[in-house]
Amino acid sequence: MNAKQQISDAKLVLAINGGSSSLKFALFDKGRSLERIISGEIERIGSTKAKFSYRDGSNGPQKKHYLVVPDHRAAAVFLLHWLDQHFGLRGIIAVGHRIVHGGNRFIEPTLVTSQLLKELRRLSPFDPEHLPSELTALETFHRQMPGVPQTACFDTAFHYAMPRVAQILPLPRRLQARGVRRYGFHGLSYEYLMEELTRVAGRKAAHSRVVLAHLGNGASMAAVSGGKSQDTSMGFTPAAGLPMSTRSGDLDPGLIWYLARTEKMLPHQFNKMVNEQSGLLGISETSSDMRDLLARETKDVRAAEAVVHFCYQARKWIGAYAAALGGLDTLVFSGGIGENSPVIRERICEDLEFLGVKVNKARNSRGPGIISARNSRVTVRVMRTDEEVVIARAASLLLKK
Q: Is 208 in the site for ligand AMP (CB under 6 A)?
A: no
Q: Which residues contact 115 (CB under 8 A, 6 or more apart)?
A: none
Which residues does residue 154 pair with via DSSP β-bridges, in sequence order? 99
Closest approach of Cβ 233 to ligand AMP, in Å? 15
For 363, the 3-state DSSP assignment is helix
Q: Is 189 in the site for ligand AMP (CB under 6 A)?
A: no
Helices 254-263 and 267-276 pack at an angle, to 10 degrees, of 120
Stretch of residues binding ligand AMP (CB under 6 A), selected from 37-45, 205-213, 228-236, 333-341: 333-341
* 194 or 328: CB nearest ligand AMP: 194
SS (H, E, C) 314-340: HHHHHHHHHHHHCCCCEEEEEHHHHHH
Among 8, 39, 217, 396, indicate the residue that binds ligand AMP (CB under 6 A): 217
Stretch of residues binding ligand AMP (CB under 6 A), selected from 33-41, 110-118, 252-260, 289-297: 289-297
Q: Is 206 in the site for ligand AMP (CB under 6 A)?
A: no
Closest approach of Cβ 314 to ligand AMP, in Å? 13
Please identify which of the residues 71, 84, 155, 292 carries the catalytic annotation. 155
**Cα 134 from Cα 74, distance rounded (Å):** 13
* 134 or 139: CB nearest ligand AMP: 134
Number of H helices, E strands in the chain: 16, 14
Q: Is 64 in the site for ligand AMP (CB under 6 A)?
A: no
Among 237, 248, 278, 340, indicate the residue that binds ligand AMP (CB under 6 A): 340
Whole-number Cα distances in Å, 289 to 77, 281, 372: 29, 8, 26
Q: Residues 251 to 280: which contact ligand AMP by CB under 6 A?
A: none
* 256 or 294: CB nearest ligand AMP: 294
**Cα 390 from Cα 222, distance rounded (Å):** 18
**Cα 199 from Cα 59, distance rounded (Å):** 22
Beta carbons within 10 angstroms of residue 375's beta carbon: 8
* 149 or 342: CB nearest ligand AMP: 342
Q: Is 212 in the site for ligand AMP (CB under 6 A)?
A: no
Q: Is 289 in the site for ligand AMP (CB under 6 A)?
A: yes
Catalytic annotation present for 56:
no
Q: What is the CA angle 80-98-39, rounded to 5?
A: 50
Among 245, 246, 330, 396, indicate the residue that binds ligand AMP (CB under 6 A): 245
Among 133, 341, 376, 379, indicate the residue that binds ligand AMP (CB under 6 A): 341
Per the CB < 8 A criterion, the answer to whether 241 and 221 are in contact is yes
Q: Is 332 in the site for ligand AMP (CB under 6 A)?
A: no
Among 40, 96, 187, 216, indicate the residue that binds ligand AMP (CB under 6 A): 216
Per the CB < 8 A criterion, the answer to whether 135 and 123 are in contact is no
**Interface ranges with ligand AMP (CB under 6 A):** 216-217, 245, 289-291, 294, 335-337, 340-341
Catalytic residues: 155
